[in-house]
Amino acid sequence: MGKQREAREDRLKREIRRYVSDNPECTASDIVAYLSIDLRMRNHGLTPRKVGFFIPRYVDGVNWRLDSSTGKRLYSAAH
Question: How many domains does one find in the chain?
Answer: 1
CB-based burial label for 33 (10 Å; 0-12, 13-18, 19+):
middle
Of all residues in the chain, what percent carry a pLDDT higher than 90? 81
How far apart CA 50 and CA 48 sit, in angstroms, is 6
Residue range 8-29: average pLDDT? 95
Range of the domain at 10: 3-77
Q: How many other CB atoms are found less than 10 A from the CB of residue 55?
A: 23
Q: Is the pLDDT of residue 74 over 80?
A: yes
CATH number of the structural domain spanning residue 41: 3.30.420
**Can you spell out the DSSP letters for 23-55?**
STTB-HHHHHHIIIIIS--TT----HHHHHHHH
* Residue 45 confidence (pLDDT): 85
